[in-house]
Structure 1
Amino acid sequence: MPDFYSAYWWLFLLRGIFALVLGVLAVGWPGATFTTLIVFLGAYLFIAGLFAVAGAIAARKTNENWGIFLLSGLLGVILGILTFYNPFATGAALIYVVAFWAMLAGLFELIIAIRLRKVITGEGWYIAGGLLTIIFGILLVANPVAAAVTLTWIFGIYAIFTGIMLVLLSFRLRSRS
Structure 2
Amino acid sequence: MDRELFTSSWKMMVVRGVVGIVFGILVIIWPIETGLALMVLFGFWALLEGISLLVSAVRPSTEGSRLGRALLGLIALVVAFFAIFSPGVTAQTLTWIFGIWLIIRGLFEIFTAFSSYRLTPRWILLLGAALSILLGVFFVANPGTGAVGIAIWLGLIALCWGLVFVVMGFMLRRERSSPAPANPAPA
How does the TM-score come out when normalised to structure 2? 0.75
Change (3 A) 1:46 1:104: same
Deviation at 1:121, TM superposition (A): 7.8
Deviation at 1:45, TM superposition (A): 1.3
**Structure-1 separation of matches of 2:65 and 2:169:** 44
What is the aligned length?
172
SS of residue in 2 equivalent to 1:145? helix
RMSD: 2.9
Change (3 A) 1:6 1:84: closer
Q: Structure 1 vs Structure 2: percent identity of aligned residues?
A: 27
**Structure-1 separation of matches of 2:6 and 2:63:** 42
**Structure-1 separation of matches of 2:101 and 2:171:** 39
Deviation at 1:12, TM superposition (A): 4.6
**Structure-1 separation of matches of 2:54 and 2:9:** 36
77-86 or 95-104, larger mean C-alpha shift = 77-86
Q: Which has the higher helix share?
A: 1
Q: Which amino acid aligns with 1:132?
A: L
Pair member with larger Rg: 2
**Structure-2 separation of matches of 1:121 and 1:52:** 43
Q: How does 1:103-114 map to 2 (within 5 A)?
A: 103-114=103-114
1:76 and 2:86 are equivalent in the alignment:
no
Deviation at 1:13, TM superposition (A): 4.6
Please name the residue that 1:100 is paired with: 100
Deviation at 1:70, TM superposition (A): 3.9
Please name the residue that 2:126 is paired with: 127
Residues 117-159 of structure 1: CA distance to partner in whole angstroms, max 9, x if unpaired?
x565841232122112101111111122221221111111111
141-150 or 129-138, larger mean C-alpha shift = 141-150
Q: Do the aligned partners of 1:42 and 1:79 also contact (CA within 8 Å) in 2?
A: yes
**Structure-2 separation of matches of 1:170 and 1:106:** 40
Change (3 A) 1:119 1:26: closer
Q: Do the aligned partners of 1:5 and 1:173 also contact (CA within 8 Å) in 2?
A: no
Unmatched runs of 5 consecutive residues or more in structure 1? none
How does the TM-score come out when normalised to structure 1? 0.79
Deviation at 1:75, TM superposition (A): 2.6
Q: Do the aligned partners of 1:6 and 1:173 also contact (CA within 8 Å) in 2?
A: no
Please name the residue that 1:31 is paired with: 32
